[in-house]
Structure formats: structure tokens, C-alpha cells
Amino acid sequence: MAQAQTNHATTEAPGGAHEDIGFPPFETETYAGQLLWLAITFVVLYTLLSRLVLPRLGGIIENRRAMIANDLDNAAAMKSRAEEAGAAYERALAEAKGRAQALAQETRAKLSAESDAKRKALEADLNQRLADAEATISAKKSEAMSHVDAIARDTASAIIERLTGKAPAPQKVEAALNQIKA
């Protein structure tokens, strides 16, 4: 069987003596030096921080605060300008709608007037044509009626001639027709 190997590290003090050495900050002999260096380091660090770092940080914070305040003021101004622009847009839109409605009403009235004028002109033309047609019809009717006596005379003479074989006397036909009219 194989032998088990052990790897144990041992700490020995130099020179072969085994002394019990503690943690140096806890050594009571070095308290005074440690406290002195702590005070010196604290004062140096405090001075560096208060004189160099903190003023720079304070300046940066103030600059940032001023930028934020300026940005907020600009944003408020832009918002008010945007609201004013929106209100102006709404007013312009309302005015444009009003003008469009007025223009449409004006155009509607103009077209209506033109249409009425054209309609009246057409009605007058049609009434004139109707009057002319009635006058023509009346003239043709009276002309035709004036020929009715001659047609009746000619027709009666033709019928009598056809029935009897000889033409009747025009005075007798005229007398018979006058008797029928009365």
C-alpha cells in the first residue's frame, strides 16, 4: 500500500523560534503612532476634500441645478408658446370655416339668383311662344271657319249633284245653308 502524503504548512518564526506574533494594529505599543498617523491622514484628506473636491462638486451641482431650472423655464415658455399657437390655429381654423361658409352661402345665393333669372327668362319665352301659338291657332281656326261655309256649299252641291245627276243652283244651296245655321 501506498503511503499517504500530507501537505501541512507550518509557520515558524525566522531563526527557528516559534513566537506568538499578533495583529499589528492591535498591538498596544503602536497605538500612539497609529493615532498620530490617523489624525495626519484625516486632516490631509479632509483638507483636500474640503478645499478641492467639494467646491468642484458644489459648482457642478449648482451648474446642473441652474441648467435644470433653465430647461424647465424654457420648457414652460415653449409650452405656453405651443398653447398660444394652438389657440391661434383654432381661431384661424374657425375664421376659415366661417369664411368658407359665408363664401358657400354667397355662391349659393348667387347661383340661386342666376337660376331664378334663367327660369323667369325661360318662362317668359315659353309664355310668349304659347301666346304666339294660341294666336296662330286662333288665326288658323278663324281662317278654317271662314272656309267652312265654302266647303259646306261645295260639299252640299257635290252631294246633290251626285244624287240627282245635275248641279243645283248656288243661290238655293246658299239659302239652305243659311237656314240650317239659323
What is the model's pTM?
0.39
Residue 177 lies in a domain: no
| Residue 70 belongs to some domain of the structure | yes
Chain segment 76-121, per-residue pLDDT in tens: 999 999 999 999 999 999 999 999 999 999 999 999 999 999 999 9
How confident is the prediction for the chain on average, in pLDDT? 86
> 33 vs 46, which has greater pLDDT?
46
pLDDT computed for residue 148 by the predictor: 79
Domain carrying residue 45 = 33-141
In a domain? residue 54: yes
Q: For residue 23, is it within any domain?
A: no
1: confidence class by pLDDT, cuts 50, 70, 90: very low
How many domains are contained in the chain? 1
Give pLDDT, residue 60: 93
**Residue 147: pLDDT band with limits 50, 70, 90:** confident
Establish if 15 belongs to a structural domain: no
Does residue 67 belong to any structural domain of this protein?
Answer: yes
In a domain, 155, yes or no: no
- Cell numbers standing for residue 112: 340661386
pLDDT at 30: 83
Tens digits of per-residue pLDDT, 148-173? 778 888 888 888 888 888 888 888 88
Residue 57 lies in a domain: yes
Residue 13 predicted with pLDDT over 80: no
Q: What pLDDT is stored for residue 27 in this prediction?
A: 80
